[in-house]
Amino acid sequence: MDFRYLLIDHDHGICRITLNRPERLNAINIRVGLELLQAFEACDYDDSVRAVILTGAGRAFCAGDDLKGMAEPDQPERRFADTVKHYVQGEGRWPLVVAKMRALSKPVIGMINGHAHGAGFNLALGCDLRVMADSATLCIPFVKRGIATGTSLLQQFVGIGKAMEWALLGPQLSAQEAERWGLANRVVPLAKLEEATLELARELAQGPTQTYGFTKSAVIHGWESSPERAYEYQGQAYLLSHQTEDFQEGRQAFLEKRPPRFQGR
């Protein structure tokens, strides 16, 4: 697929994926969703990619679903007869993109440059880490448009009580509020957003990539499990990491009292 609405940049182990519909505040339609799925899948297969950044062009990260229409003129929408199935698994839908990001074997950083609302909020929460500009905002505004919603991943961050409040009232959260509730890992001035995000991405890109993937999977699956089952996921990740070249390098570096030189293998 030729990317119509994404900009892709590879640099020193980091793949930056930029939503590029600034005139629509990077709203998601079918084409955008399909392009994101392909871009993330390509990152998963590419051994040279060791960290991924997702961001938006212009003044928004992502304003949510494109309410003016999900289909492109040259790409008619294909729909499941079951409307609930279509909402979750329909062509290019954001739940599929979030699932792909969470299953990705490399860490994904959201560089939240502006509004992340609706489906854009869910894309932001689908990232493993989030660096937000101090002027950016988060919001699930559906009820204000008469649209029912759920909490998606939100309750995992803030608990059911606060997730229910935000789902029912649809407030717009500042970056500072997002950081206070653990929705943002770092908040920086907009002028320093790229610098701060790249600093974090470079650190991850120099790390033990396969071990990050095992850890990420154990954390995500362990969250949704009993403590006993979570320990099993952790044990699996622990043992799998011992089979990597980076484990041997980490052990040797410890014995030699030097920084490790991980290769992502």
Helix (H) or strand (E) holding 254: helix 245-256
Q: Which of 163, 187, 205 is the last residue of a domain?
A: 205
pLDDT at 84: 87
User: What is the CATH number for 214?
Assistant: 1.10.12
| 161-215 pLDDT per residue, tens | 999 999 999 999 999 999 999 999 999 999 999 999 999 999 999 999 999 999 9
pLDDT at 20: 98
Nearest alpha carbon to residue 111 among 192, 11, 22, 211: 192
Q: Are residues 133 and 184 in the same domain?
A: yes
Q: Which domain holds residue 233?
A: 209-256
Q: Are residues 123 and 192 in the same domain?
A: yes
Q: Tell whether 263 is covered by a domain.
A: no
Q: How far apart are CA 32 and CA 48, in angstroms?
A: 24
Q: Are residues 71 and 98 in the same domain?
A: yes
Q: Tell whether 261 is covered by a domain.
A: no
Q: How far apart are the first and last CA of the chain?
A: 29
Q: Are residues 233 and 215 in the same domain?
A: yes
pTM score, two decimals?
Answer: 0.94
Q: Tell whether 220 is covered by a domain.
A: yes
Are residues 94 and 40 in contact, defined by beta-carbon separation less than 8 angstroms? no
Alpha-carbon distance values, 103 to 107, 179, 197, 219 (Å): 10, 24, 21, 11
Alpha-carbon distance values, 162 to 24, 200, 265 (Å): 30, 29, 41
Q: Are residues 56 and 143 in the same domain?
A: yes
Q: Are residues 129 and 39 in the same domain?
A: yes
Exposure of 100 by Cβ count < 10 A (0-12 exposed, 13-18 middle, 19+ buried)? buried
Q: Tell whether 128 is covered by a domain.
A: yes
Q: Are residues 136 and 216 in the same domain?
A: no
Q: Tell whether 94 is covered by a domain.
A: yes
Q: Tell whether 218 is covered by a domain.
A: yes
Q: Tell whether 262 is covered by a domain.
A: no
Q: Are residues 131 and 161 in the same domain?
A: yes
Question: Three-state SS for 89?
Answer: helix
Number of Cβ within a 10 Å radius of residue 12: 12
Q: Are residues 137 and 242 in the same domain?
A: no
Q: What is the mean pLDDT of residues 120-133?
A: 97
Number of Cβ within a 10 Å radius of residue 88: 13
Q: How many domains does the chain have?
A: 2
Q: Are residues 81 and 172 in the same domain?
A: yes
Q: Which residue has the tokens 């290019």?
A: 92
Q: Are residues 65 and 170 in the same domain?
A: yes
Q: Tell whether 83 is covered by a domain.
A: yes
Q: Are residues 132 and 245 in the same domain?
A: no
Q: What is the mean pLDDT of residues 78-96?
A: 87
